[in-house]
């Protein structure tokens, strides 16, 4: 499973990238707002650091506007993925932009039918939001499993990009189902390293080591 980082925080991306944990980056208008940076400037910086796909989201609500914005965002770098919402206009824009050979990420997906339409419209990635479904008492991971089955049934090449990930457990579940990609905030990716028994074991080793009075260097 590829790891994308869901942030526009350049320092946080760099820390994970140096560890080889970043296969791509996703941003959205809320994350750009949170960064306090200019969208083109920060996106160019991210694209120069990470060779994989970097999603930049359009904000127009009509297809022509999304297409114009998508083409403008694509000028930032070759690894830009144009992100459009899963509306009828978003699907129209996806069809045109993907037909031009551009990578398109269709976002705000909450149903298997929406994911089916995005694949038919030529999406490179579909972004189902698992955390926001969990928020309304619908199991977000059931949606990932449904989309996996449908895409496999018909050999769609659209990649399932599990989004709105809130916990390390979401990462494990996405990987078990066979999602192609998971995009998560940096703190969630780092939390995957944590285990209470690791901490407990390390404490015991340190206590015993202190009793030996030795040093290694
Ligand atoms: O990947 C989509 C993400 O940015 C939304 O996450 O936690 O706001 O639902 P969240």
pLDDT at residue 179, as a whole number: 98
Residues marked active site are found at 83
- Long-range contacts for 150-155 (Cβ within 8 Å, ≥24 apart)? 150/112, 150/115, 150/116, 151/115, 151/119, 154/119
pLDDT at residue 82, as a whole number: 98
Cβ(144) – ligand 1 distance below 6 Å: no
Cβ(163) – ligand 1 distance below 6 Å: yes
| Cβ-based neighbours of 125, under 8 Å, separated by 6 or more | 53, 55, 81, 103, 104, 105, 106, 158, 159, 160, 161, 180, 181
| Chain Cα centroid distance, residue 66 | 20
pLDDT at residue 159, as a whole number: 98
Rounded to two decimals, the pTM is: 0.96
**Residue 16 phi, psi dihedral angles, 5° rounding:** -75, -35
pLDDT at residue 53, as a whole number: 98
Distance (Å) from CA 141 to ligand 1 centroid: 15
pLDDT at residue 15, as a whole number: 98
pLDDT at residue 186, as a whole number: 98
Cβ(185) – ligand 1 distance below 6 Å: no
**Residue identifier of the C-alpha nearest atom 5 of ligand 1:** 164
* C-alpha to C-alpha distance for 122 and 109, rounded to whole angstroms: 15
Please state the atom number of ligand 1 nearest to the C-alpha of residue 107: 2
Distance (Å) from CA 57 to ligand 1 centroid: 13
**Residue identifier of the C-alpha nearest atom 4 of ligand 1:** 164
Parts of the chain with a pLDDT under 70: none
């Amino acid at each position: 499973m590829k790891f994308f980082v869901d942030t526009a925080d350049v320092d946080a991306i760099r820390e994970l990238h140096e560890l080889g944990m970043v296969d791509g980056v996703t941003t959205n208008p809320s994350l750009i707002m949170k960064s306090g940076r200019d969208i083109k400037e920060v996106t160019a910086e991210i694209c120069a650091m990470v060779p994989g796909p970097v999603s930049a989201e359009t904000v127009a609500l009509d297809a022509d506007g999304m297409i114009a914005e998508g083409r403008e965002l694509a000028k930032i770098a070759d690894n830009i993925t144009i992100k459009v919402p899963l509306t009828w206009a978003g699907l129209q824009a996806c069809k045109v932009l993907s037909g031009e050979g551009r990578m398109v990420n269709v976002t705000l997906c909450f149903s298997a039918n929406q994911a089916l339409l995005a694949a038919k419209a030529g999406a490179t990635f579909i972004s189902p939001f698992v955390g926001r479904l969990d928020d309304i008492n619908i199991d977000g991971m059931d949606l990932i499993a449904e989309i996996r089955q449908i895409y496999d049934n018909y050999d769609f090449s659209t990649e399932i990009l599990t989004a709105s990930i809130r916990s390390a457990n979401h990462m494990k579940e996405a990987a078990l189902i066979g999602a192609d990609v998971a995009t998560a905030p940096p703190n969630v990716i780092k939390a995957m390293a944590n285990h209470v028994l690791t901490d407990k074991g390390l404490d015991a080793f340190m206590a015993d080591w202190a009793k030996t009075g030795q040093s290694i260097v």
